[in-house]
Structure 1
Amino acid sequence: MKALLPVALVSALCSTAALAHQAGDFFVRGGVATVMPNESSDDVAVSDNQELKISNDTQLAATLTYMITDNIGAELLLATPFKHDVSTAKLGKVAEVSQLPPSLMAQYYFGKSNSDIRPYVGAGLNHTVFFDAKGKGALAGTNVSVDGTWGLAAQAGVDMKINDKLFANASVWYMNIDTDVHTAVGTISTKVNPLAVMVGVGYTF
């Protein structure tokens, strides 16, 4: 991921054609995204002063954007399921769970519609669905479930021209995910609140 971004930047800066994000355009972005939880939780009942820890995961992701005006867009984020290990410092891994975080964003693109580089910011709504939760280690063989959530989301990114149709993209997302984890030892209120980083390419229709 780190190697792709300098190449994309050089390609964008050396290009002479303009990147057109203008009213009426549809474009898709695809690439890899890493979700990095900034978690906090109630203490796990069987382990005093031990909060849940949630691992990072990297998966394929895609966005679909429609430009309402030359500077305002609407974007839908989709991805393949992210899978996370859940652990505590004393007990180690106690569960694993998969999640999908579809998000709908309103965006503002800086600069003119024919600029080679278009930074943007966005804000909107995230709906995270958790599934395939399984108890592991100390919770092996027990029922574990995680409630789906609705929350706010924010993003910042930049599109960089490669040719008339293709562009490189880098973006950062923040999602408010506040859920309840139900286990054999009780319900644990958990804030996930991940930062997600996506790097990829886009295509304008």
Structure 2
Amino acid sequence: MKKSALAIGLATALLSSVAMAHQAGDVLIRAGGIFVNANSHSKTTTATEIGLEVNNNAQVGLTGTYMFTDNIGLELLAATPFSHRVTANVPALHDSNVPGSGNLGNVVSLKHLPPSLYAQYYFLDKDAGSRPYVGVGINYTRFFDAESTNPAITNLRVKKHSVGPVANLGIDIKLTDDLSLNAAMWYTHIRTKANFTALGAEHEVKIKLDPVIYFAGLTYRF
């Protein structure tokens, strides 16, 4: 009898634990590592072509989600400021007999914050051990602390604001009643513009970033 009572008690506790999942009214906080694959492209709008490439960066990521229903949530993405190096290449200076000619190396450093707000749809039932989800919304990127790191680049100005769509894909895998393992990714469009003086002339280069952003961390449910 005691063994049966114990078994029933354990089963009840287990079922109660399974039922405590993402549901209406929950607040989900996610924290972990976040990596930006910048995937940048540039186009020079002045006479001399100067190619700019934005390097990748990793930081600490943080998201907060409010569940309006068992399947629909609204999430805000934040992170510590991303810091990027920008390299430059000048095709007109390229000499096939001189390795590395035309490559100016790192010429600019800058930071940005990419807060994003998006609605999410969570698949499966709220008691499921894992909850895959998708999301769509808007990204706002703010560039700041742009500095020249090469004496050949002077009078640097970078457009500070960019707004574009963002898509999100992720999954929570339950570890305990309130803690889950999370993996997620985002895709967005970011646009900016750099004006600067180099090679004795003024230049304007438009930069497009189509970053894929990867996240791995933990979700805590309040």
Work out whether the TM-score is over 0.5: yes
Q: Within 5 Å, which residues of 2 pair with 1:1-205?
A: 17-18=17-18, 20-43=21-44, 48=49, 50-89=50-89, 90-184=103-197, 185-205=202-222
The corresponding residue for 1:10 is none
1:178 CA displacement: 1.4
- The CA RMSD over aligned residues, in Å, is 1.9
- Range 34-43 or range 120-129, more displaced: 34-43
5+ unaligned residues in a row in structure 2: which ranges? 1-13, 90-102
Aligned residue identity for 2:208 = K
Quote the Cα distance in structure 2 between the aligned partners of 1:129 and 1:31. Answer: 22
SS of the equivalent of 1:22 reads coil
Quote the Cα distance in structure 1 between the aligned partners of 2:178 and 2:70. Answer: 17
5+ unaligned residues in a row in structure 1: which ranges? 1-14
1:138 CA displacement: 4.4
1:51 CA displacement: 2.1
Identity of matched residues, %: 39
SS of the equivalent of 1:186 reads strand
1:57-82: per-residue Cα shift (whole Å, max 9, x none)?
00001000000111110000010000
Aligned residue identity for 1:104 = L
Quote the Cα distance in structure 2 between the aligned partners of 1:139 and 1:108. Answer: 49
Aligned residue identity for 2:63 = T
| TM-score, with structure 1 as normaliser | 0.86
Quote the Cα distance in structure 1 between the aligned partners of 2:135 and 2:111. Answer: 26
- Range 186-195 or range 60-69, more displaced: 186-195
Query: Is the CA contact (8 Å cut-off) linking 1:171 and 1:197 kept in structure 2?
Result: yes
Query: Is the CA contact (8 Å cut-off) linking 2:153 and 2:196 kept in structure 1?
Result: no
Change in 2 beyond 3 A, CA 1:107/1:139: farther
Query: Is the CA contact (8 Å cut-off) linking 1:30 and 1:63 kept in structure 2?
Result: yes
Quote the Cα distance in structure 1 between the aligned partners of 2:77 and 2:154. Answer: 34
**Structure of higher CA gyration radius:** 2
1:47 CA displacement: 5.8
Quote the Cα distance in structure 2 between the aligned partners of 1:154 and 1:120. Answer: 11
Quote the Cα distance in structure 2 between the aligned partners of 1:97 and 1:45. Answer: 22
Aligned length: 190
SS of the equivalent of 1:23 reads coil
Quote the Cα distance in structure 1 between the aligned partners of 2:179 and 2:220. Answer: 5
